Amino acid sequence: MKTDYRNVFKECGFTDEQIDNRLKGIKEEFFFGKDRVYFTTADNMGYVVDTGNIDVRTEGMSYAMMLCVQLNMQEDFDRIWRWAKTYMYMTEGENEGYFAWSCKTDGEKNANGPAPDGEEFFAMALYFASHRWGDKEGIFAYSKEADAILTAMVHKGYDGRKGAPMVNHDNYQILFVPGIDFTDPSYHLPHFYDLFSEWGPLEDRDFWKKASLVSRKYLCDSCDKTTGFSAEYAEFDGSPMKRPLPWTNDRHDWFYSDAYRTVANIALDYEWNGIDVGQCAAAKNIQRFLLIDQRRETFFAYEVTGKATSEPALHPVGLLATVAAGTLATELDDVSKEWVMKFFNTPMRKGERRYYDNCLYFFAFLALSGNYRMW
């Protein structure tokens, strides 16, 4: 297991005290301050609110669990997991064994469909919790719960099970939703799949090892070779998914909100595993391509090939954070240092859209400070 994690902030000249104090402040603001997104309930539960949509999502819940295990916050980890299992977990129907991707803050489900990025992060956070704190009983037998999630992701729709899997059995790719015929580049987490192949259910370890190899290559294929941008949704060959969708009129073939996570995933995978099959070039490309807009503080939505649209970025702080995190996939030079310094000196986002930006911000700070670790 890796024990030596790169601290890019120290490489840029920040002291341990500066970094530690900043991390404490981020933790306070995210979980407990007046601009928090995390709330506890009287029945010993906790949830994270998407402040832009006023709902609770598996994305944010699983992210918060990962943050808690990284920060050794077991009590809050358990609160969040209890809420997710109580209100989001589905025990019947086609999606039995998955988690409803969106709920109201009182626990009522807004939808009965899952989002695979939530399941991925739930499983990884639970394995880390098992290793850091040890398994307990019931839903707090963390590794057993993680095994069940991965089994559902791979085996639903097979072996007589209802529903559809979250992974394509022919090409080993994670799907945008179960059974669909396209993917989301930001859902591809080869660094998680490598660990699933070591710790997950025995019968599926070979599957996850193949998935890690496929996803690493996919991250290379889905990022434009000049800009480093990936699309929000993409075909299995990495090209932007331009087909109309029955449930929305929004476009998803551009570099926009979901897609910001791709470069951060590339960076964390490289930090954990040190394997580059071409995907790391995206980190350098995106930093150089967006440098002028970063200096102007005028991020937009972009075509994958680089043309700026007239629509401003919905999550500019999140974009800044993930591009800065990309430094973990490359050497520190004048350009990457400028991104890291800009990020360190930029406060967390305020206002109604703070949830997504500050999730990405928190993860980027952990990664760049050497505190996003395998447990």
Active centre residues (catalytic): 59, 258
Enter the DSSP assignment of 313: P
Q: Is the dihedral of CA 108, 34, 64, 250 positive or negative?
A: positive
Quote the CA–CA distance of 15 and 353 in Å, as a whole number: 31
What torsion, rounded to 10 degrees, do the Cα atoms 5, 173, 101, 373 define?
-10
Instruction: Give the C-alpha separation, 234 to 15, whole Å.
Output: 41
Tell me the C-alpha distance between 30 and 17, whole Å. 20
Q: What size, in residues, is the chain? A: 375
Contacts made by residues 168-174, CB under 8 angstroms, sequence distance 24+: 168/236, 171/214, 171/236, 172/207, 172/210, 172/211, 172/214, 172/215, 173/211, 173/214, 173/215, 173/218, 173/236, 174/116, 174/120, 174/211, 174/215
Q: Give the three-class secondary structure for 198.
A: helix
CA–CA dist 134, 137 (Å, integer): 10
Q: Give the distance from CA 203 to its chain's centroid.
A: 26
> Token pair for residue 194?
């490598």
Residue 183: phi and psi, rounded to 5, are: -135, 180
